[in-house]
Each structure stands twice: as structure tokens, then as C-alpha cells.
Amino acid sequence: MEELNKHDYVTIWLDGQMCGIPVLEVHDVLSKQTITEVPLAPDAVAGVLNLRGQIVTAINLRKRLKLPDREDSSQDMNIVVEYQNEPYSLIIDKVGDVLSLSEEAFEKNPVTLEPCWQEVSNGIFRLDKELLVILDIEKLLSLGESKAAA
């Protein structure tokens, strides 16, 4: 792919699936936060939260990717990213390590991947035991547009 440091990824888990987010895009990793729900908001928007005086819009990634809700959400984690100069917090199950991956292990999305995953994934890395789905922040957060397309 393009640049070396782009191959460093923070690994996260969602409903048992490992995913990766480019490490340069991650601003913060937080434990579970108090979230104020926003009525009438799109489904994937969990609400808004206060991060050191900054209002951050929280996105429930499980909902975004049409995964079932987590039974016990007390262990939820937040990854804060920025999109179009606005902070967003992605609610996920668990955060793992930062992995530096070589390009050889990279694969394109299999064509049979579900459309809602296809839409937000840039490709897949083959790891020893698992597969790492690379999530594209921009595509994840361009909620309105994807909705219009759907």
C-alpha cells in the first residue's frame, strides 16, 4: 500500500471479529463513558459524550455494522478518531495491541463479504491465527451518505 506507517494498526474486537484501525487516526482510547442519548438520531449514533470538555459524538460500531447488541456493555471501550475535524468516538468491545503489518499479508476484500462490511473495509490482513479487517474511518463515519445509498 502507500506509506509504511500506514501499516500500523490498532486492533479492536467487535462481536468476536478482529478489526484494525490505522494507528495514526486514533486520538484516544477510553474506557466506557457516560453517554447522553440523542433522540431522533440515526440508529448507529449512540449519543454524545464529554471528553475533557469537548463534545464527542459516539458511534456504536456494532450497530453500524449491523451486529447484534452486546449483552453486557459494561466493558465497552471507546476509540476516539477525527473525521472532517470533528471528534467521533467509536464504541467497541475490546482494544488489543498495535500491530505493524507487512504488505504481503494484505488481501482485498473477498467479494462475498457482506455489503455493509464491504462498504467500510479497505481490505484484510492475514495474521497467523486470525483475519484482521481494516476499517476505513471515513467510510465508517460518512453515515448520511451511505444511508442515502442504501
Q: Which residues bind other proteins (CB under 8 A)?
A: 34, 36-42, 45, 47-50, 52-53, 55, 57, 84, 86, 88, 141, 143-144
Helices (H), ranges, the chain: 61-64, 115-118, 137-141, 143-149
Nearer to other proteins, 109 or 146 (CB): 146
Nearer to other proteins, 92 or 141 (CB): 141
Is residue 26 within 8 Å of 10, Cβ to Cβ? Answer: yes
Closest approach of Cβ 47 to other proteins, in Å? 8
Closest approach of Cβ 17 to other proteins, in Å? 24
Closest approach of Cβ 50 to other proteins, in Å? 5
Nearer to other proteins, 84 or 112 (CB): 84
Residue 77: which of 93, 60, 61 has the closest Cα?
93
Length of the chain: 150
Nearer to other proteins, 18 or 59 (CB): 59
Is residue 64 within 8 Å of 79, Cβ to Cβ? Answer: no
Closest approach of Cβ 141 to other proteins, in Å? 7
What span, in angstroms and rounded, lies between the C-alpha atoms of 8 and 77? 20
